[in-house]
Homo-oligomer: A and B are copies of this chain.
């Protein structure tokens, strides 16, 4: 299994393991009425520097879908990028949970970045008040996004200001939120509520947990509705303490940012090493994900060596490949990858 396929291939960090084992040492009330779950709101409020409510979730899909259901309903829509994970890879979960429509948007400027642009605003306003169309209720962005790109705080602010001016909410898919904070070297607040984000899907699984995600409500009054929605969606587990304990350990002692920094640094190293190959075109990674274009023979070799990321042919004999680094990527992993490519080049000449 390629270590660069996804950060999801990594397991849980020892501190998370430890937290789980400790939570298993004594009995606890079920369905979230346990001390770990009780502590979440407080700990996350401190983390974000503002009062928040937290709904633990079991999957990123569920966190995204639940969050969307809290900002858009049956007669409404959510604007997303055409290439966004939430539109392309959630198998209709956001629509299922919310009854809203996701409206995919793209323009020439956003091809290759999957970042929403102000061009979208025309589309939103074009149907305002038109009874034949669902009405825009929210905009959803990913940070870092599906193509490894970052939104700067002021870019988020601009989207949020527009959204709020139109009566819309701004959702952020933060499956790799920690990597974004590490990359921007900012406070978690800077790219969330302080930039106008109303609701956040907070990912922890990829960055060192067994399985723990959360919806963070910057409007804590939504908690009541959110709790029932989570239960109805099958996201209230009986032994919730084991999810909450992971989330607490993830925040405690800065594990989240330590892990994210390791992953981001590994991506940087990998990109640097890749620059030695004239056949490979690799952009400097923004966080822990990089997209490279490489010739067919390299793709074949990497694939055979179980080292490739997700790839697709972009033109004849040329492939685009996504490479992800993780909290447990080691220098040796990069070394093996590079040596495999070096050998492939030799063989190919």
Contacts and interface: CB of A to CB of B under 8 A. Distances in A.
A250 to B, nearest CB: 14
Interface stretch (A89-97, A270-278, A291-299): A89-97
A96 B99 contact: yes
A171 B233 CA distance: 19
Contacts of A5: 29-30
A239 interface: yes
Interface of A: 1, 3, 5-6, 8-12, 17, 20-21, 23-31, 57-63, 65-66, 69, 73-75, 77, 88-93, 95-97, 99-101, 104, 131-135, 205-206, 210-211, 225, 227-229, 231-239, 242-243, 328
Given A20-B210, A92-B101, A61 B231 contact: yes
A91 B210 contact: no
Contacts of A211: 58, 237-239, 242-243
A21 to B, nearest CB: 7
A59 B91 contact: no
A150 to B, nearest CB: 21
A119 B28 CA distance: 36
B25 A11 contact: yes
A132 B65 contact: no
Given A26-B11, A88-B132, A132-B90, A59 B234 contact: yes
Nearest to A60: B238
Output the residue of A21, A75, A232, A328 with the most chain B CB within 10 A: A232
